[in-house]
Structure formats: C-alpha cells, structure tokens
Copies of this chain bind each other. A is one copy, B any other.
Amino acid sequence: MATDVTGPESVSSTRSVGCTTPYRVDLPVLHVGVVRERADAARNRLRVLAAAERLFAERGVEGVTMDEVAATAGVGKGTLYRRFVDKGGLAVALLDERERDLQQRILTGPPPLGPGADPADRLAAFVADYLSFVDRQLDLVLLSETATPGARLRTGAHAFWRQHCRYLLREARAPQPDLRADLLLASLAADQVRHWLHDEHRNLDDLAVGLSAIALVLAQPHPRRT
C-alpha cells in the first residue's frame, strides 16, 4: 500500500534536508542499526527492482504480471510481496528514485521552483514541473495511485508534495491552504493528467500554462466578488 522500501538507500529518505523550507516530512525511515537488512534480502530487493524496471520498460506496466517480475528476478512471489506490499508498492519504489531530483530542486534548487521566489510563483512553477514529471512517468504514477483505492493519498511522496503546497499557500496568505493544496494535487492525479493529455489530446505545455495560472489564482490572499 505505501512505501516499504526498507534498506540502505532509504536512509537518504530523511527528507528534511537542511534548507530554507521550514518543514519536515515524516516518511517511513529505517533506523539503521536497530534493524539491519540481511544480505540476501538486499540482493533480492535490487534484483526485483532491476527486473521490474526492465520488464516495465519492455512491455509496459500493464503487460507485466507479478509472477513474471518474480520469475525474472529469480525470486519467489512471497519474497516479492514481503518487500513491496502490492504492485503499486513496486511502482512507488521505482518512482522513489526518480522523484528525488524534483524534490531536491524544490528544496535547494534555483527559483522560481526553489526557495527565494514569491510563494505564488513557486507554486505555479511546482505545478508545471510536477505535471511534467507525471507525464514522463505516467504509467508508473498511475499504477502507484490506483493500485488500491486511496493509494494516491498515502504514499510518502504525496505527503511531500502536499506539505510543500500547503507551505507555499500559507506563505502566500491564501485562505484554506490545506484544502487548496489537496485541490491542486487532486487535479494532478495521474488519471486526470492522462485524460487531458491522451484522451483530450491537450498539449502538455498549454496544460502547464493553464494549470499554473490557476495555481496563481488559488494562491491569492483574498477571494474577490465583483
């Protein structure tokens, strides 16, 4: 259901990097030393990830069964499910690494995405960049969000994005920052993005411009009636 990628590299999941953004996201973090990952477990985890990545790339996320992933990785199904709670969990694990880049640019990169710019502009930049990220990883994100109902709202990554949006909206003095953050992220769900891009054949850049504009509206300090 959620991230379960215990193991060495999860240590870097201590996402509260020392930076200007004054919040800390609580993510499942392995307390190294308390529980060490066994050597065979680590080896198998890497194998599974590699196998999944290759198979997904070759035949698409939908065209690959969990049995195949297990077989290709040379691992039993039990092992597969022990580590990655379900197919969505596997997607989350694969996505994890690819999200790092965007997260780093948000936390420490140059404006307008990174710290320094006006919060509303940062929000607009985030919307555009996140949209582009979803577009590039569409199948994986879709899987991670729809594997189980509500999955979208439970991943560690989602907590990060939400926290970031809330922070920016609060900084911008927008009313109901939490609700508005959820609203924005709901519209960036893989399902919706895929519909805009593939079913309605909207242009990615136009969409980014449009959504950024709406982000600016949502970041306004006060509602205005005519």
Using CB atoms and an 8 Å cutoff, list the residues of chain A in contact with chain B.
120, 142, 146, 149-150, 152-153, 175-176, 179-180, 182-184, 186-187, 189, 191-192, 194-196, 199, 207, 210-211, 213-214, 216-218, 220-221, 223-226
Q: Which residues of B contact A199 (CB under 8 A)?
A: 150, 153
If A149-B194, A220-B226 are given as contacts, then 14 extra A-B residue pairs at C-beta distance below 8 Å, sorted by A number, are A120-B225, A142-B149, A146-B146, A146-B149, A152-B191, A153-B192, A176-B213, A179-B210, A183-B184, A189-B189, A216-B223, A220-B223, A220-B225, A221-B226
Q: Are B195 and A150 in contact (CB under 8 A)?
A: yes
Q: Which residues of B contact A194 (CB under 8 A)?
A: 149-150
Given A186-B192, A217-B218, A217-B220: A210 in contact with B150 (beta carbons within 8 A): no
Q: Which residues of B contact A146 (CB under 8 A)?
A: 146, 149
Checking B175, B184, B191 against A150 with a beta-carbon cut-off of 8 angstroms, the contacting residue is B191
Q: Which residues of B contact A195 (CB under 8 A)?
A: 150, 153
Checking B120, B153, B180 against A214 with a beta-carbon cut-off of 8 angstroms, the contacting residue is B180
- In the bound assembly, the distance between CA atoms of A146 and B211 in angstroms comes to 24
Closest B residue to A62 by beta carbon equals: B149
Closest B residue to A195 by beta carbon equals: B153
**Interface SS of chain A:** helix
- In the bound assembly, the distance between CA atoms of A153 and B191 in angstroms comes to 9
Q: Are B153 and A210 in contact (CB under 8 A)?
A: no
- In the bound assembly, the distance between CA atoms of A215 and B80 in angstroms comes to 44
Q: Which residues of B contact A175 (CB under 8 A)?
A: 213
Quote the shortest CB–CB distance from A159 to chain B (angstroms). Answer: 12
Q: Which residues of B contact A210 (CB under 8 A)?
A: 176, 179
Q: Which residues of B contact A216 (CB under 8 A)?
A: 223, 225
- In the bound assembly, the distance between CA atoms of A153 and B199 in angstroms comes to 10
Q: Are A211 and B153 in contact (CB under 8 A)?
A: no
Q: Which residues of B contact A221 (CB under 8 A)?
A: 226
Q: Which residues of B contact A189 (CB under 8 A)?
A: 186, 189
Q: Are B214 and A224 in contact (CB under 8 A)?
A: no
Closest B residue to A153 by beta carbon equals: B195
Q: Are A214 and B218 in contact (CB under 8 A)?
A: yes
